[in-house]
Amino acid sequence: MKQLIINDRIKKSRVPARLDLLQSGTGLVLGLFMWIHMILVASILLGKGSFNFVARTMELSFLSSSGHGYPAAVFFAVLIVFALFILHAALGVRKFPISWKQHAIFRSQMNMMNHGDTNLWYWQVVTGFVMFFLGSVHLFIMLTNPGQIDPYLSADRVFTSFMWPLYLVLLVSVELHAAIGLYRLCMKWGWFGGKDPARVREKLQTFKKRATIFFLTLGGLSLLVFFIIGWGHSDRAGERYTKKSHGAVSETAAPAKAVQVEAEEPAQGKTDKANN
């Protein structure tokens, strides 16, 4: 009897619905964060100076008279995003087809129905699973190196620390997951309702496709530029970017040559002296 009452209470519980709402809420915040994150990281496409400006601004450097940043600001931002990331993952795992039987049933229903949004949900599970691991690596590195974000240090991470394969797989996973997730949120909660739901769905699907292509292209190009900078900087990996060091790179080249010329001359002088 007691078990029946407990079952009845569990059946009537609002907790699952509240957890769904929390999952949607954390998903919305993380999805929009990712689009902003990609745009900020893509500042590297405008040059090292632009990326450095964005990185320093994220460190709230405009609050200090000397212009130096506060890595603690990035640390707390990463801490909040990491906490949301873990909470969203914990809420998401409730829906995973955990056993082989559950997985097989889901796959057979998917094939039978061949319904676009059901297939999308499967990709949410796969990309979510991938991000459990790859997203955590990236976030932990950012959490423990909040002051190590500049055009050279980021490029060294991508090339010399061999993070580019991780970023590539993470980029595809997070962009698919964010775009599908935001699309499903709009469908699930009836945002952008309107009189013609079929037309709204069509429009949202087009937006989802375009957003995915836009952010994958932006992220892919940024990663390529980081890779090229990192490759060129691999002999000085770990050297920070500073406006002066950036300018000096070419200058250094020049003075080295001048030294070369000088060396020859004194030798000549010496012989002269010898001759004298």
Residues that bind ligand HEM (CB under 6 A): 37, 41, 74, 77-78, 81, 85, 131, 135, 138-139, 142, 149, 154, 157-158, 163, 167, 170-171, 174, 219, 222-223
Rounded Cα distance between 186 and 208, Å, is 11
CB of 249 to ligand HEM, least distance (A): 20
Instruction: Please give the structure tokens belonging to residue 73.
Output: 């600001």
Comparing CB distances to ligand HEM, the nearer of 42 and 186 is: 42
CB of 112 to ligand HEM, least distance (A): 32
CA–CA distances in Å: residue 170 to residues 117, 127, 174, 190, 238: 22, 9, 6, 29, 24
Comparing CB distances to ligand HEM, the nearer of 177 and 184 is: 177
Rounded Cα distance between 11 and 3, Å, is 12
Comparing CB distances to ligand HEM, the nearer of 28 and 77 is: 77
Contacts of 44 (CB under 8 A, 6+ apart): 50, 51, 151, 154, 222, 225, 226, 229
CB of 11 to ligand HEM, least distance (A): 35
CB of 168 to ligand HEM, least distance (A): 7
Comparing CB distances to ligand HEM, the nearer of 37 and 103 is: 37
- Own/partner long-range contacts of 109-116 (Cβ < 8 Å, ≥24 apart): 116/205
CB of 267 to ligand HEM, least distance (A): 48
Comparing CB distances to ligand HEM, the nearer of 169 and 204 is: 169
Comparing CB distances to ligand HEM, the nearer of 10 and 32 is: 32
Residue 61, Cβ neighbours under 10 Å: how many?
16
Contacts of 198 (CB under 8 A, 6+ apart): none
CB of 62 to ligand HEM, least distance (A): 18
Rounded Cα distance between 70 and 46, Å, is 24
